Amino acid sequence: MTLRLTGGTIVRSLRPPVVESSDLAIEAGRIAPDAAVRAGSERVDCTGCLVIPGNVCAHTHLYSSLARGMPYRLAPPRSFLEILQRVWWRLDRALDPATIRASALAGGMEALLAGTTTLIDHHASPAAVDGSLDVIASALAELGIRSVLCYETSDRDGPEIARVGLDENGRFLATVQTGAHPLARGMVGAHASFTLSDETLAACAELARDRGVGLHVHVAEDAIDERDAERRDGVRVAARLAAAGALDRRSLLAHGVHLRADEIATIKAAGATLVHNARSNMNNGVGRAPVVALGDRVALGTDGIDADMFEEGRTAYLRHREENHGTGLGWPLDRLAEGARVAGEAFGEPLLGSLEAGAPADLVVLRYPAVTPVDASNLAAHWLFGFRSSAVRDVIVGGELVVRDGRPVRIDAEDVAAEARVGAARLWRRLDEIDVHPFEPLGVR
C-alpha cells in the first residue's frame, strides 16, 4: 500500500519535538524520503489534521479487558495483596483460549481506536499457558496492531505452572524468529520478585540473556514486594534482581513505587527502563513512584486500565505536578518517546516512534482544528491540554490503514464487541467458581 497524506501538520518527532507543515508519503510500510506523488498511491486528505507518531503503551494486561463491570461478590479487598488474591489472580485462572482471544481483540481494538499503535503486554492465564501468546499475537494481527508480548512467569500457582510459563516465553520467542507474527516480538515475562523463587528468577534471567531480549517484570509496586525480598534474601528488590542477573539495559520494570535511592542508582547503572503507571498506582493506592529520580529511562503504561496514552500522559503529569512544579510540559512527551524507544529496540527499528524518513509508518491522524498555532516550541502544551483520543480519525501501522474515520478497517467493530460480550459472560461464570488465591509473600503477617 502506498499512501500520500496531504495538507496536514506533521509531528516528525517527540524527543525533541519537530513539527512541520508538509505532505507525507508512505511506501513499503515506511515513511518515504519525500512526499512526491507515486504511481498508484492513495491520497488521504489531512487538511485540518495533525499527523503524529503512533502512541506506545509500555505496560499493559490485555487479559484484563473483559473485567470491566464484572460482578464481585467477595468481601472488598483492603490492600494491594488482597486486590491480587481476590480479583486478578482469580480472573487469570478463569481464562481459557477463547476468552484470551476475546480479551486481546477487545483490548487491541480499543487501543487502536485511541491512537495506540504498539502494546507491550504482560500476560497471565495459569490454566491455559501453552500457546497463549500465539492466541494473543494472532488476535492482534487480525486488528493490525503492533505488540511486544510475554508470559508472566510466577511460582504463585506452583512450580509446574512456573515451568510452563517460562517455556511459553521460550516457545513464543522461537515462533517469532520464524517470522510467523510480523507485527509481534517477545520478551521474557516474570510476575514480581515476591512470587518468584531464586531458581525461577534465575531461569527467567538466563532465558532473556540467551535470546537477547529484555525481562519484563513488576518491581516494587507495593511495599510487600520489598518486604518479601528483605525476608527472603536480606536485600531490596533491585538488588535481588541484579544478583539474579535480571537487570540490564533491556529490562522493563513496571511501577517502581517503593524503590529507595540506592535501588534507583542500581537500576540507572544497569540502564533499565521503568514503566510508570500513574492511574493504576492511584487506583490501587500503592503510593507515588519516584519518577523524576529515575531520569530519562521512564516510559508510560496503563497497567490494563485501557490503552489511552493521551489520558495516561495527562494524568501522570497532573499527579506529578501536584507536588513538583519543576516538571516541565515536555515530560509526558519524553516519556512516550522512551516507550517508543523500548518498542523500537524489540523490533530492531531505532526510528520507531518518529515520522522521519525510513521509520516504520506507525502514525495517527488527529482531527485537530488548532485554536492557537502549533509548532515545535509548544507541541507539548497542545499534547497535554488539547489532544484527546476522541480526535483519532485514522491509524496506520506498518504502512497499512487499520483505522479509517474512527472505525477499524480489517475487522468489524461490532463483531469484536459481540465476541467480547460472549467471552465476558463465559469468563465471569468461570470466575464465580474460583476461590480467593491463597498465595502470600513473606513478611505479610
* Sites of contact with Zn ion (CB under 5 A): 254, 303
Nearest distance, CB of residue 345 and Zn ion, angstroms? 20
Q: Count CB-CB contacts under 10 A for residue 443.
A: 16
Take residue 49 and report the three cell numbers written for it: 489534521
Nearer to Zn ion by Cβ, of 286 and 359: the residue is: 286
Q: Which residue is nearest to Zn ion (CB)?
A: 303
Nearest distance, CB of residue 405 and Zn ion, angstroms? 33
Nearer to Zn ion by Cβ, of 303 and 308: the residue is: 303
Q: Which residue has the cell 460472549?
A: 422
Return the closest-CA partner of residue 368 out of 348, 385, 354.
385
Nearest distance, CB of residue 122 and Zn ion, angstroms? 6
Nearest distance, CB of residue 6 and Zn ion, angstroms? 41
Nearer to Zn ion by Cβ, of 80 and 387: the residue is: 80
- Beta strand pairing call for 116-121 and 49-53: unpaired
Nearest distance, CB of residue 60 and Zn ion, angstroms? 8
DSSP assignment, residue 393?
E
Nearer to Zn ion by Cβ, of 254 and 403: the residue is: 254
Distance (Å, whole) CA 190 – CA 195: 9
Nearer to Zn ion by Cβ, of 10 and 316: the residue is: 316
Nearer to Zn ion by Cβ, of 286 and 396: the residue is: 286
Nearer to Zn ion by Cβ, of 89 and 387: the residue is: 89
Return the closest-CA partner of residue 145 out of 121, 109, 179.
109
Written as one letter, the residue type at 195 is T
Q: Count CB-CB contacts under 10 A for residue 395.
A: 28
Tell me the sheet residues that pair with 3.
26, 42
Q: Count CB-CB contacts under 10 A for residue 377.
A: 10
Distance (Å, whole) CA 217 – CA 253: 5
Distance (Å, whole) CA 85 – CA 195: 12
Nearest distance, CB of residue 218 and Zn ion, angstroms? 5
Nearest distance, CB of residue 301 and Zn ion, angstroms? 7
Nearer to Zn ion by Cβ, of 338 and 362: the residue is: 338
Q: Give the rounded distance of the alpha carbon of 124 from its chain centre.
A: 14
DSSP 120-170: EE-B--TTS-TTHHHHHHHHHHHHT-EEEE-B-B-STT-HHHHHHHHHHHH
Nearest distance, CB of residue 58 and Zn ion, angstroms? 11
